[in-house]
């Protein structure tokens, strides 16, 4: 292998809990909720699937079904889909739905998996090119910079910047072209068997990791190093 492509959420990074997300947005807006109400609201938001990178919605409302399917095609669609889901849950002020959306893009809302830097550094030491390929509606580069991982990434290929989302092989082709590598000598690493598995149609190798909380997956990326030797 001459290159490794990584997914973002659930692969290299994990979003904070729904309760921590809600608490941070409320604090930023100067709004207080009693602990029981905070817990109930966080649970309702989780059921709604309102946290990008968090649990998927138990049910997508009919009026959001169309935008939900194409949410990663643009920043506007992504915001509309997720704020639409959060608006299924009553909040103390209507502007808090946008505040929640803004919070999830903050670098400190994300934690890198414990072995992410180690694995990326080892790949760099071996001369392996690294790309990030993500279905997303916003620029995740500041997250990588804030956590010190940007220096290991040679290219970012984000669905909203191309109007193409995984598993469409064209998105993986863009990444391979940006790195100047052949798909047959490229490994895609991700947590979504459907979306990330789309790289196989292009001829890439594919390796899956489990989308677990950071504390529960301390070494899930290390097998990648054995696959590129």
Q: What is the largest CA-CA distance in the chain?
A: 55
Confidence of residue 80 (pLDDT cuts 50, 70, 90): very high
For residue 87, give both structure tokens.
């608006």
The domain of 164 spans 3-14+110-227
Torsion of CA 108, 114, 116, 117, to 10 degrees: 80
189 phi, psi to nearest 5 deg: -120, 125
Task: Enumerate residues 6+ apart whose C-beta is below 8 A from 159.
Answer: 72, 73, 134, 135, 136, 137, 165, 166, 171
Same domain assignment for residues 20 and 44: yes
199 and 114 in a single domain? The answer is yes
pLDDT at 218: 97
Residue 229 has pLDDT above 90, yes or no: no
Q: How confident is the model over 219-223, as a mean pLDDT?
A: 98
**Which tokens in the block code for residue 21?**
């997300």
Question: Do 131 and 218 have their domain in common?
Answer: yes
pTM: 0.96
Give the integer Cα–Cα distance in Å for 58 and 99: 22
Report pLDDT digits (tens) over 13-46: 999 999 999 999 999 999 999 999 999 999 999 9
- 46 lies in the same domain as 135: no
Say how far apart CA 196 and CA 202 lie, in whole Å: 11
β-pair partners for 186: 3
- Domain shared by 222 and 117, yes or no: yes
Give the tens place of pLDDT for each residue, 112-134. Answer: 999 999 999 999 999 999 999 99
- Average of per-residue pLDDT across 93-104: 98
Q: pLDDT per residue over 162-176, tens digit each?
A: 999 999 999 999 999
Measured distance CA(53)–CA(56) in Å, rounded: 8
Same domain, 48 and 144: no
- The pLDDT of residue 162 is 98
Would you call 213 helix, strand, or coil by DSSP? coil
Stretch 57-84: mean pLDDT, rounded?
A: 98
Residues 67, 170 within the same domain: no
Nearest to 131 by CA among 170, 194, 177, 179: 179
State mean pLDDT over 208-229. Answer: 96
**Same structural domain for residues 49 and 64?**
yes
Residue indicated by tokens 């807006």: 29
**Of 59, 90, 108, which residue sits at a domain end?**
108
**Quick one: 82 and 143 in the same domain?**
no
Same domain, yes or no: 120 and 214: yes
Q: Which of 80, 108, 136 is the last residue of a domain?
A: 108
pLDDT higher than threshold 90 for residue 210: yes
**61 contacts 69 by C-beta, under 8 angstroms:** no
The last residue of one of the domains, among 56, 81, 108, is 108
């Amino acid at each position: 292998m001459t290159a490794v492509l990584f997914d973002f959420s659930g692969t290299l990074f994990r979003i904070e809990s729904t309760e921590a997300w809600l608490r941070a947005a409320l604090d930023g807006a100067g709004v207080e909720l009693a602990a029981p109400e905070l817990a109930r609201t966080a649970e309702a938001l989780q059921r709604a699937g309102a946290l990008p990178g968090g649990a998927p919605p138990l049910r997508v409302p009919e009026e959001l079904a169309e935008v939900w399917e194409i949410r990663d095609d643009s920043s506007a669609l992504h915001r509309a889909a997720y704020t639409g889901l959060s608006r299924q849950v009553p909040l103390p002020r209507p502007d808090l739905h946008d505040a929640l959306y803004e919070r999830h893009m903050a670098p400190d809302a994300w934690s890198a998996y414990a072995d992410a830097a180690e694995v990326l550094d080892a790949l760099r030491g071996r001369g392996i090119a690294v790309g990030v390929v993500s279905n997303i509606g916003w620029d995740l580069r500041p997250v990588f910079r804030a956590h010190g991982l940007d220096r290991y990434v040679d290219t970012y290929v984000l669905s909203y910047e191309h109007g193409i989302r995984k598993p469409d092989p064209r998105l993986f082709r863009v990444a391979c072209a940006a790195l100047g590598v052949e798909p047959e000598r490229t490994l895609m690493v991700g947590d979504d068997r459907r979306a990330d598995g789309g790289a196989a149609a292009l001829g890439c190798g594919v390796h899956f990791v489990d989308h677990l909380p950071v504390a529960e997956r301390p070494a899930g990326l290390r097998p990648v190093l054995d696959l590129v030797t």
